[in-house]
């Protein structure tokens, strides 16, 4: 597995190899870190790339623990960060 990839296990126990799009830290919700990712080779019903996000806690080794984003406020913050990045990419 490459450095910019993670494996996500869904609620059915299926593994999905995902590309990390970007990560960021935010103090607004208790100094959490967030990762935005896209399942490799998976698209929605319209053929568009799928994006998702999770919070994570870095461990002392190379790994960490992924956490669900529970609140609507957190999702809004992640969406705002994603939109900002997408806008910057379009400008380049």
Q: How far apart are CA 52 and CA 27, in angstroms?
A: 20
Q: What is the pLDDT of residues 27-42, one digit of tens each?
A: 887 778 999 999 999 9
Q: How far apart are CA 4 and CA 36, in angstroms?
A: 11
Residue 2: closest CA among 29, 20, 15, 16: 20
Q: What is the pLDDT of residues 2-18, one digit of tens each?
A: 679 999 998 899 999 99
pLDDT mean over 43-55: 94
For residue 78, count CB atoms less than 10 angstroms from its CB and return exposed for 0-12, middle for 13-18, buried for 19 or more. buried
- Name the average pLDDT for the chain: 88
**From start to end of 1-92, where are the E strands?**
5-9, 15-26, 32-39, 52-58, 64-67
pLDDT score of 1 more than 60: no
pTM: 0.83
């Amino acid at each position: 597995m490459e450095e910019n990839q993670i494996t996500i296990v869904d609620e059915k126990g299926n593994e999905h190899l995902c590309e990390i799009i970007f990560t960021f830290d935010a103090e607004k919700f208790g100094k959490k870190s967030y990762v935005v990712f896209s399942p490799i080779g998976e698209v929605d019903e319209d053929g568009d790339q799928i994006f998702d996000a999770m919070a994570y806690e870095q461990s002392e080794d190379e790994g960490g623990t992924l956490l669900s984003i529970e609140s609507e406020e957190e999702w809004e913050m992640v969406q705002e960060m994603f939109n900002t990045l997408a806008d910057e990419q379009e400008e380049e």
